[in-house]
Structure 1
Amino acid sequence: MAFFGLRAWPTPIVKPLWPFFIASGLTFYLVNKVQDMAVRSESTPDYAKDPRNPYAVQISKEHAAH
């Protein structure tokens, strides 16, 4: 007998979806790394010195140390 649409046996949720969990974690990690590299890039020095850039202080300290 179905009680609110629930069955007597458990419906597998994690087992068939594990590749999507792994792929989403990998995608999140890689997009985060690319975004961090783009923010700290030296190819756009105007943006590196822009006061609206939240990483401007860190970038200027890193470039001063080199």
Structure 2
Amino acid sequence: MSLLGKKFPAPVARPMWPFYISGVVVLYGVNAFANVLANTDEFKNDPRNPAAKNPKADH
């Protein structure tokens, strides 16, 4: 008696490949858009911006 019940030979990865590809494309687009927004004039000098230059760390 198995813990998960009877195994069925159903394909999982092959019919799901369009969703995997679209997920990667959406995540890449969101990352690129977030980087563009973080480098705008409004948020360029924000101390919470990880890409901002921190003058205190230079000393």
Match of 2:45 in 1: 49
Match of 1:20 in 2: 19
Match of 1:63 in 2: none
Say which structure is richer in helix.
1
Aligned residues: 51
Root mean square deviation of aligned Cα:
1.8
Q: Residue 52 of structure 1: CA displacement?
A: 2.4
Give the 5 Å matches for 1:26-65: 26-42=25-41, 44=42, 47-57=43-53
**Segments ≥4 residues shifted beyond 3 Å:** none
CA distance in 1, matches of 2:48, 2:25: 29
Q: Residue 22 of structure 1: CA displacement?
A: 0.6
Q: Which runs of 5+ in 1 are unaligned?
A: 59-66
